[in-house]
Amino acid sequence: MATKPRVTNNLPKFAGKVQIQAARGMTQALILGASEASALTPIDTSTLLNSQFRNVDKQGGRIVGTVGYTASYAVPVHDPENPQNFRRPSATKEFLRKGFERAEPNITAVITGAIKT
């Protein structure tokens, strides 16, 4: 007698695995971008540097990563319209944006690699 083939639906398990891998890749990408940004961050008392945070959230079907600073003076220091002189030679305005731009090739590779595994 022939037996009935058993069909299993692995799609939910696969989707969950891909989301976990994407979140892991996003976290690695945020670490890369934030480390590049911290090299460009102006340091006076290192309060700004120590106030850096990162967050990974799931919004609908998307994985969204956020990097920011909790120090109250982070926005004026980052603002390119606000002229300032920095003591640190590598410090620049828009340090967060420029840090992520510098790390963009590595970020793309990390996210791609995290999803492929």
Q: Which pLDDT tens digit goes with each residue over 8-28?
A: 788 888 888 888 998 999 999
Q: How many CA atoms lie within 13 A of 110 on its CB side?
A: 16
Q: Hey, which residues does 56 pair with through a beta bridge? A: 65
Mean pLDDT of the chain: 88
Sign of CA dihedral 93, 95, 97, 98: positive
Model-level pTM? 0.82
Sign of CA dihedral 91, 97, 101, 107: positive
CB 36 within 8 A of CB 99: yes
How far is the C-alpha of 49 from the C-alpha of 91, rounded, in Å? Answer: 12
pLDDT digits (tens, 9 = 90+) for 33-60: 999 999 988 887 788 889 999 999 999 8
